[in-house]
Amino acid sequence: MFTTLFTHAACLDHDTGLGHPECADRLRAVLAALETEEFYMLERQEAPLATLEQLSRAHPREHIERILALVPEQEHAGIDADTVISPGSGEAALRAAGAVVAAVDAVASGHSRNAFCAVRPPGHHAEHEKAMGFCLFNNAAVGAYHARAAHGLQRVAVMDFDVHHGNGTQDIFQRDPDLLYCSTHQSPLYPGTGDAGEKGDYGNCVNAPLAAMSGSPEFRHAMTHIILPAIDHFKPDLLIISAGFDAHSRDPLAGLHLTDDDFAWATRKLGDLARTHCGARVVSVLEGGYNLRALASATAAHVRELMYC
Ligand SMILES: [Zn+2]
């Protein structure tokens, strides 16, 4: 079975304006890194458009329509100070969520062992009824609900190692005991959520905040003693990774000091758990990562592990 890469050229057409860190060059850097010879075994598929029905499992239908109606015919529009959209943003957002839906289909059907979605805009800050933090729709949550609705994969765990807390995924997951949200993130930092005391209504949110300047030892300790045991105990039917690479030491938006090896190690550990509990089914989706060289090398380290784990 393959590792499948889902992406779409429309994700490059989400234009956030000059100087915005969440830029199309991020995706170009990721795709270039995955073009090298060692990745020739990656199966490549175009991301379909997510349907309104698929999105409305994670967001109210009126909210989805409101966001899509904000997409301007020219220039830019602002959802908030950070979250800027352009004429291409609507299709990009639908392809980003659609990639995760298709990736879930691919691993649930047994076509793919696991999948990586190289897409933008990212999704983990998008709450049930609020787009924010560069995110329009919550791609990971749309995938989790699709796994349940289309494939009967009832218990879905999301592990989010983006340097920012995924307030959106936590917001959507916290009232459902069959969904688990786990996060390592720098704290304090945007968006200000993710305290260790935020546990969800059923103990189904597991937050492991890390102080600025934390590096490999602190990250691996939190993974080993908090995150991995929580996923092991939860016994998911599917594991989704919110793969942000902005905890990398070279990232300009935050102050953690992870290396490519840390992302590879975390991927390997998560892959081990997926093999134990869910037939190795892993769907990974790109979130943040703002130093282009670090983003490229860390993504390559992550996907390399997916291919060989
Ligand atoms: Zn981030």
pLDDT tens-digit map of 42-54? 999 999 999 999 9
Determine how β-strand 2-7 pairs with β-strand 77-78. Answer: unpaired
Cα 244 to middle of ligand 1, angstroms: 6
pLDDT over 80 at 171, yes or no: yes
Average pLDDT over residues 196-216: 98
Element (DSSP H or E) covering residue 31: helix 24-33
Confidence of residue 309 (pLDDT cuts 50, 70, 90): confident
Average pLDDT over residues 132-149: 98
Alpha-helix runs per DSSP H in 47-88:
52-55, 61-70
Cα 251 to middle of ligand 1, angstroms: 10
Cα 182 to middle of ligand 1, angstroms: 15
Cα 194 to middle of ligand 1, angstroms: 13
164 assigned to active site: no
| Dist. CA 72–CA 302, nearest whole Å | 35
pLDDT over 80 at 110, yes or no: yes
Cα 162 to middle of ligand 1, angstroms: 5
Instruction: Give the model's pLDDT for residue 84.
Output: 97
Classify the phi-psi angles of 123: left when phi > 0, otherwise alpha if psi is within -120 to 50, otherwise beta: alpha
Cα 254 to middle of ligand 1, angstroms: 8
pTM across the whole model: 0.99
Cα 307 to middle of ligand 1, angstroms: 24
Q: Are 282 and 274 in contact (CB under 8 A)?
A: yes
Task: Say which residues have a Cβ less than 8 Å from residue 119's Cβ, sequence separation at least 6.
Answer: 6, 7, 8, 11, 27, 47, 92, 95, 96, 99, 100, 139, 285, 286
Average pLDDT over residues 273-294: 98
pLDDT tens-digit map of 2-59? 999 999 999 999 999 999 999 999 999 999 999 999 999 999 999 999 999 999 999 9
Cα 1 to middle of ligand 1, angstroms: 31
Near ion ligand 1, which residues have CB within 5 Å?
162, 164, 244, 246, 288
Which of the residues 8, 14, 124, 125 is marked catalytic? 125
Cα 286 to middle of ligand 1, angstroms: 10
Instruction: Give the model's pLDDT for residue 256.
Output: 98
According to DSSP, residue 33 is labeled H
Average pLDDT over residues 60-65: 98
Average pLDDT over residues 185-213: 98
Average pLDDT, the chain: 98
Q: Are 2 and 113 in contact (CB under 8 A)?
A: yes
Tokens of 10: 């429309």
Instruction: Give the model's pLDDT for residue 1.
Output: 78
